[in-house]
Amino acid sequence: MFGLEKRDYTLLIIVACLTMFAPFILNPFPTDSAMAQFNAGYPDLMQRFVIFGIFAIGFNLLFGLTGYLSFGHAAFLGVGSYSAVWMYKLLGYNILPGLFLSVIVSAVFALLIGYISLRRSGIYFSILTLAFAQMMFSIAYSDLIGRFLGTTITNGETGLQVYNSDPQVLHSASKPDIPHLFGQQMQSTYSLDIAGWSFDFNTGYYLCALIMIAAFYIAIRIFRSPFGLMLRAIKTNQTRLNYTGLNTRPYALAVFVISGMYAGLAGGLMACMDPLAGAERMQWTASGEVVLMTILGGAGTLIGPVLGAGFIKYFENIFSKINDSILHQWFAFFPDGIEDAVVFMIHPFIGKGWHLTLGILFMLVVIFLPGGLVEGGQRIGKLLKRGKKSEDKGDGDAASTPAE
């Protein structure tokens, strides 16, 4: 169905179900329980899950397929955000023109940066993309172009936002003063209270989720197309590809642009959830984050980047919220001295120290599961299968096709 093989179709259905029922899945604990702080089902965080999911899916098309490690993908994220906010300023709060422009503008930037950066490969390519991203960050942060032209383009450190004095030619009094899609406000949330649980259904989240499912579907199609085959061939042997009559450069450039458009779309969606665009979105740490997400989840696999994005965003938001007083609550059953000692030991790994936890987890994954979380899943799957097999005393080797 939809031109997909059965296995990919199943995967698409799983992703669709997970995102559609995310408000339930991410809120497993009753609101008043002590475990409630592990709930991730609030709109703001759920939006970030899927937006960074889109970002990582796009990044994986480039890195996972061709092996070209871009270290400046956040530049496109920032460009997408700025484009969307400019559409709010000029046209009005409907998000469609903004999303459209963010994809187009990031494609143009990706074409320029990719055209130059793809002249080199390996580490030199990474450095070139990093240099471009840092230049764009500096330009945005000091609003260099804006000052040169005597106007504002990025509004420097303050960040770009909508003011009352902006033209907003399509805006009228009947329309909401916040981002909306034909009147449907992105911020509107419906809370469903059942017994002790509270589930939030947010318009913005569902919009992002639908877009992510579409983005995921397109990614599957690219993976399974002759175009995707050529991209994987670039990763394994460019010499053979050249001597087989194929020009590698346009293939790499095309996927660089596609990947940039995914990033731009993610940036545009960020501005849809919160009508602001700041230069910090383009900083190299943001570029590094998407690399981490993709590798952690499993580069070159379909579902990996989505898992990686969810994993990192979850830890960023949940671990950073835990503080010493919460720890004291947890370990209150210990005698006083031991309680303090345990809290002292765990203290560096929580709150602001969540990066430390993430670093350790990242190391563990890279050392023991080089294929990322997806490989972990496959190993568990294999173990279960083997367990079943030995029970049935059935023989025959399972054709080990990598599940993606």
Partner 1 sequence: MAILEVRGVNKRFGGLQALGDVNLSVEEGSVHAIIGPNGAGKSTLLNCLVGKLNPDSGSVNFDGQSVLGRSPHEINQMGISRVFQTPEIFGDLTVIENMLIPCYARRDGAFKLNPLTSMRKGGEMQTKAEAMLDDVNMLDKLHMQASSMSRGDKRRLEMAMCLVQEPRLLLLDEPTAGMARADTNNTIDLLKEIHAKRDITMAIIEHDMHVVFSLAQRITVLAQGTPLVEDTPENIKGHPKVKEAYLGETAE
Residues forming contacts to partner 1 in the complex (CB under 8 A) are 3-4, 218, 221-222, 224-230, 232-233, 235-237, 239-247, 250-251, 254, 258, 399, 401
Tell me how far, at minimum, the Cβ of 342 lies from partner 1, in Å. 47
What's the distance, CA 137 to chain centroid? 19
Radius of gyration of the chain (CA): 23
* DSSP-derived secondary structure letter, 94: B
**Closer by beta carbon to partner 1, 18 or else 241:** 241
Residue 92, helix vs strand vs coil: coil
Judge whether 77 and 238 are in contact, CB under 8 Å.
no
**Closer by beta carbon to partner 1, 31 or else 247:** 247
**Closer by beta carbon to partner 1, 226 or else 337:** 226
Token digits of residue 363: 């190391």
**Closer by beta carbon to partner 1, 222 or else 346:** 222
Token digits of residue 375: 């490989």
Residue 181, helix vs strand vs coil: strand
Tell me how far, at minimum, the Cβ of 52 lies from partner 1, in Å. 23
Angle at the Cα of 387 (from 385 to 392), degrees rounded to 5?
Answer: 90
**Closer by beta carbon to partner 1, 10 or else 247:** 247
Token digits of residue 305: 């980047």
Tell me how far, at minimum, the Cβ of 213 lies from partner 1, in Å. 16
Q: Please give the Cα distance from 148 to 304 (Å, whole number).
A: 43
**Closer by beta carbon to partner 1, 232 or else 347:** 232
Tell me how far, at minimum, the Cβ of 245 lies from partner 1, in Å. 4
Tell me how far, at minimum, the Cβ of 32 lies from partner 1, in Å. 49
Closest CA to 383 of 373, 364, 395, 398: 398
Sign for the CA dihedral angle at 318, 307, 289, 362 comes to: positive
Q: Terminal CA-to-CA distance of the chain, rounded, Å?
A: 18
Tell me how far, at minimum, the Cβ of 260 lies from partner 1, in Å. 14
Compute the CA torsion angle 170, 176, 178, 183 (nearest 10 deg): -80
The set of residues, in sequence order, having a beta carbon less than 8 Å from that of 108 and lying 6+ positions away, is none
Tell me how far, at minimum, the Cβ of 230 lies from partner 1, in Å. 7
**Closer by beta carbon to partner 1, 295 or else 327:** 295
